[in-house]
C-alpha cells in the first residue's frame, strides 16, 4: 500500500475488555515497531519485530500486552483486561532500514 | 539510559519569525538524531536526521546540527509560516537508523500566527 495503515482508528473499551489493534506495514518493510503515545507526550517504544521475529519487547508495560507478526507482515498488538491507564494512541511504524514510516495510530480509550 | 529532553511548549510565533526549538540528549553510544513533525490530524513524519557528529540535517527550510560536544540537536528555521504549526519531536536511535528503537522527547507544540 501507499503507507502504513492501522485499524481501528478509534477504539473505546470498557475496563477489563480485551482489545486487538492491527498494523499493516508498507509492503516489503522488514522492521516493524509499536509505540504508545500518551496525551501530550512523545511516543514510547513498546516492541520491535524483524520479519516475524520479536527482537525486543522491553517496552511492553505488563504481561497484559502481547504483540505478534506471524508471517512477517501484518502485526497485531493485543491488550488483555484493559485498564484506564492503557488509554493512549498506539502507533505502528515500519522501515526497510533507515527512516521509520508511521501509521496514523489507533486511539484507545478505556472507560 | 538514553534520553531526550526538549524545550516545553507551546511556542507561539508570528509568521516570518525565527524559530529555535532546543533539544539535548543523553546517550552511551553514538546515536542517530532525528526531528519528527506531527501536523494536526496527521501521523508522525520524519522532518530531518543526522547520523554522526557535525552532520547537519535539513528539510523544508528547517535545519539541525548534531553537536556531540554539547549533546544537542537544536531545530532552527529562519522564517516560519502558518503551515509550520505542528508538534515537533526530537528523537534518537541507538546504532544504525531504523534498526533499533527510537527514543522520543515529549514534543514541542508550535503555533504560527498570520
φ, ψ of residue A67 in degrees (nearest 5): -130, 150
Query: How far apart, in whole angstroms, are the C-alpha atoms of residue B56 and residue B33?
Result: 10
Q: What is the pLDDT of residue A40?
A: 87
Which residues between 46 and 65 in chain B have a beta carbon less than 8 angstroms from any beta carbon of chain A?
46, 49
Q: Does A1 have pLDDT greater than 70?
A: no
CA angle B42, A49, A4 (to 5 degrees): 25
Q: Does B96 have pLDDT greater than 60?
A: no
- Are A32 and A26 within 8 A, CB to CB? no
Averaged pLDDT, A2-15: 95
Q: Is B16 left (phi over 0), alpha (psi -120 to 50) or beta?
A: left
Q: Which residues pair with B65 in a beta bridge?
A: B56
Q: Out of A43, A91, A97, name the one closest to residue B98 (CB).
A: A97
For the segment B27-57, what is each residue's pLDDT rounded down to a tens digit?
Answer: 877 888 999 999 988 889 999 999 999 999 9
Q: Which residue has the cell 501484518?
A: A74
For the segment A53-75, what is each residue's pLDDT rounded down to a tens digit?
Answer: 999 898 999 999 999 999 999 99
Tell me whether residues B101 and A95 touch, CB distance under 8 A. no
The model's confidence at residue A19, banded by pLDDT at 50, 70 and 90, is very high
Q: How many other β-carbons are positioned within 10 Å of the β-carbon of residue B59?
A: 14
Pick from A41, A93, A86: nearest CA to A64 = A86
Q: What is the pLDDT of residue B97?
A: 40
Residue B68 grid cell: 556531540
Q: Does B99 have pLDDT greater than 70?
A: no
A25 touches chain B (CB under 8 A): no
Amino acid at each position: 500500500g501507499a503507507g502504513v495503515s492501522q485499524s481501528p482508528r478509534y477504539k473505546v473499551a470498557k475496563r477489563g475488555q480485551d482489545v486487538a489493534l492491527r498494523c499493516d506495514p508498507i509492503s516489503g518493510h522488514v522492521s516493524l515497531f509499536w509505540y504508545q503515545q500518551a496525551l501530550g507526550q512523545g511516543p514510547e517504544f513498546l516492541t520491535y519485530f524483524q520479519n516475524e521475529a520479536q527482537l525486543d519487547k522491553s517496552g511492553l508495560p505488563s504481561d497484559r500486552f502481547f504483540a505478534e507478526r506471524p508471517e512477517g507482515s501484518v502485526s497485531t498488538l493485543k491488550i488483555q483486561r484493559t485498564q484506564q491507564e492503557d488509554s493512549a494512541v498506539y502507533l505502528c511504524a515500519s522501515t526497510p532500514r533507515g527512516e521509520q514510516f508511521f501509521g496514523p495510530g489507533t486511539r484507545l480509550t478505556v472507560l | 539510559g538514553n534520553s531526550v529532553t526538549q524545550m516545553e511548549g507551546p511556542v507561539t510565533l508570528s509568521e516570518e519569525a525565527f524559530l529555535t526549538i532546543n533539544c539535548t540528549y543523553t546517550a552511551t553510544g553514538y546515536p542517530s538524531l532525528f526531528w519528527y513533525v506531527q501536523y494536526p490530524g496527521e501521523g508522525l513524519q520524519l522532518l530531518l536526521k543526522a547520523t554522526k557528529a557535525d552532520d547537519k540535517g535539513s528539510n523544508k527550510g528547517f535545519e539541525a546540527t548534531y553537536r556531540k560536544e554539547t549533546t544537542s540537536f537544536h531545530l532552527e528555521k529562519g522564517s516560519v509560516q502558518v503551515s509550520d504549526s505542528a508538534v515537533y519531536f526530537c528523537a534518537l536511535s541507538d546504532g544504525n537508523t531504523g534498526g533499533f528503537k527510537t527514543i522520543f522527547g515529549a514534543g514541542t507544540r508550535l503555533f504560527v500566527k498570520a
